Amino acid sequence: MFSKPSKAASSSARTEALEAPRKSLPCSLIAENVSVDGDLASDGDVQLDGALRGDLKVTNLSIGETGQVEGTITADAVEVRGRVVGAIAARSVRLFASARIDGDITHEQLAIEAGAHFAGRSLKAQPVQEQLSLPIAAE
């Protein structure tokens, strides 16, 4: 009843604590007066009001009206109010009226407000479960 827990039980508790979901991170801001040359990666949210020339790989990206990206964007969700020259790959993409996109968008959900400029292809991404259920061709 009051026995000492086994080492296996305590080590599994430590493993569960290490694998627990991370607390949410504050949003990173690239301000209007900031210009970045190079790739940017984050497992959190990014608000881009400045200029970035390079590839972005983030969880959630919001590009403000003064924000500009020249490169490939990979994210879970993208909101664009500024300018993007390059491809966007995200589960959810929303283009606001002030958005200017020159590149392809691969998405599961796409919303485009009236007034947004989009020159490129809209490519519907298949959810992961549908991709796994496709038969494999025998060679």
Determine what percent of the chain falls in helix, strand and coil, rounding each to the nearest 5. 15, 40, 45
For residue 77, give the amino acid letter.
A
Entry pTM? 0.73
**N- to C-terminal Cα separation, the chain:** 61
Residues 6+ apart with CB under 8 A from 64: 32, 47, 48, 49, 81, 82
Signed CA dihedral, 77, 59, 27, 61: sign only: negative
d(CA 91, CA 93): 7
d(CA 26, CA 24): 7
- In this predicted structure, the answer to whether residue 118 has a pLDDT above a threshold of 70 is yes
* Tens of pLDDT, residues 29-87: 999 999 999 999 998 899 999 999 999 999 999 999 999 999 999 999 999 999 999 99
Q: Give the largest Cα separation in the chain, rounded.
A: 70
Domain spans, the chain: 28-125
* Tens of pLDDT, residues 79-111: 999 999 999 999 999 999 999 999 999 999 999
